[in-house]
Amino acid sequence: MAKAAPVSPLAPKTYPDIPPIEGVRFAVAQAGIRYAGRTDAMLALFDEGTQVAGVFTRSKCPSAPVDWCRARLEGGKARALLVNSGNANAFTGKAGKEAAKLSAKLVAAAAGVPEKQVFLASTGVIGEPLDATKFEPVLGKLVADTRGDAWREAASAIMTTDTYPKLATRVAKLGDVEVRIAGIAKGAGMIAPDMATMLSFVFTDAPIDAEVLQSLLSKSVQNSFNAITVDSDTSTSDTLLLFATGAAAERGAPVIEKASDRRLEGFRRALDEVLLDLAHQVVKDGEGARKFVEVTVMGAETPKAAKRIALSIANSPLVKTAVAGEDANWGRVVMAVGKSGEAADRDKLAIWFGDIRVAHKGLRDPDYDEAEVSQIMKRDEIAIHVDLGIGSGAARVWTCDLTKEYVAINGDYRS
C-alpha cells in the first residue's frame, strides 16, 4: 500500500461532537479487504421501520453495490448498511454481482434482518474482484459491537486516499420537536459527482416517509455534492443514502408524508447545510489540495448555463494550476468561459479574484493592481467571481487547486 499522505492543510481543526441518533448504531472492523492494519469495513444497523432514500452515480459503468442499492431502494426501508474500503467491486462482472449478493446474505444472517433491507457500498480499486467471504469472520463481532456514538470510527473506516474523516451534524425543528441530522462522507479523488458524491451516508431520527426523503435528497444534492469537483472525474461508485429512523415520533415529532408539508422547512434547511458541509470537506481533502476555491458565475443566460460555465472554470487544469502557483492569471478564466459552449460576450465579461476586479468590458481592469491580487492568491480559500452581463442566470461551485501531489498520489494508487 502506498504511504499515507499527510493530512490536508485545509482539514478542519476540530471534529463535531455528534451525539447518538436514536435507531442508528455503528461498528468497524479490519476485514483485510486491501489495507493491512487499518479498519476497512463499517456496519450500520437501524431499528425496524427505518426509511431510506438515495441518489447514485449516473456513470454508465456503475459498481455492483450501486446496482444492488438501486434495486433495494424501491422498498423504501432499511435495516443495515455495510461499507468497505479498498475495493470498489466495480467492473467485476458476474463475480461482482455474486459478491454483493453474498455480502448482503452474510449481513442479513448475522444481524437477523431481511436481506432486501441490507444496503451496500464499496470504494477503492476498480476491476479487482471483491472476496466477500472476508466479511464473514468479522460480521458477528460487528453486530455485537455496534453503538450509537461511533461516528468518527465509521467515517475513518470508509476512507481510501482521504487524509481525514468527514463528519457533519445539525439540529432542526420538526413541528415543535427537535430532530437530529448527522452524516459522514469519503472522497478525495475521482470527484465530479453526478447525483451524489463518492460515498456519503446521512442519518436522522425524523419520522419522514421514504418518498418525501427522496424528494428532499434529490433536490438538496444539486447545490451541494453536484456542485463540487476535484478533478472532473465521476466515480463508478457514487452513492449517497439518507436514512430516517422515525424515533423522534415518540417525542411528539409529526410524521411527514408529503413533500409539500410546510413543517419540513427547518429540516430542509438543516439537510442542505449538512450536505454542503460534507461536500466542502470532500473538496478540501482533494488529493494534493492546498487551496479551496469558490467559483461564482452571474449574468448568464440561464442557471444551467451559469453552472456549466462555473464547472468549466473549476475543472480547468490551467485555472487550477494557476491557483496552485498563486498566480492571478485571469486570462485562464477567460479561456474557460469561452470554451464552455455557453453564450458569452467578450466585451461584457467581468472577472474578480476575491473582491478585486481584474477584468472588465473585454479588457484588463484599469485599476488592476498585481501586488494586491497576489496577496489574495496566497490565501487558503480563494473566490473567483465572473459576471457575463447577458442574463440573470447564476450558479456557484467549489473546487481545489491542482498540485504535483495529485499526480504522485494517483501515479502509484495501485502500488
The set of catalytic residues is 197
The side-by-side arrangement of strands in the sheet containing 393-400 is 363-364, 356-360, 350-353, 381-387, 292-300, 393-400
Pairing of strands 356-360, 350-353: antiparallel
Residue 89 assigned as binding residue: no
> Are 130 and 96 a contacting pair, CB within 8 Å?
yes
**Integer Cα distance of 342 and 338 in angstroms:** 8
Strand partners, 171: 180
The torsion angles phi and psi of 384, rounded to 5 degrees, stand at -115, 125
Which amino acid would we find at residue 291? K
| H or E element, residue 405 | helix 404-411
Residue 160 assigned as binding residue: yes
Give, as one character, the DSSP assignment of residue 94.
Answer: H
Residue 197 assigned as binding residue: yes
Q: b/e string for 235-251 if b means 16 or more Cβ within 10 A?
A: bbbbbbbbbbbbbbbee
Q: b/e string for 28-49 if b means 16 or more Cβ within 10 A?
A: bbebbbbbeebbbbbbbbbeee
Give the per-residue SS3 of 146-210: CECCCHHHHHHHCCCCCCCCEEEEEEEEECCEEEEEEEEEECCCCCCCCCCCCEEEEEECCCECH
Residue 294 assigned as binding residue: no
Residue 410 assigned as binding residue: yes
Q: Which residues participate in the annotated binding site for substrate?
A: 160, 186, 197, 287, 410, 415
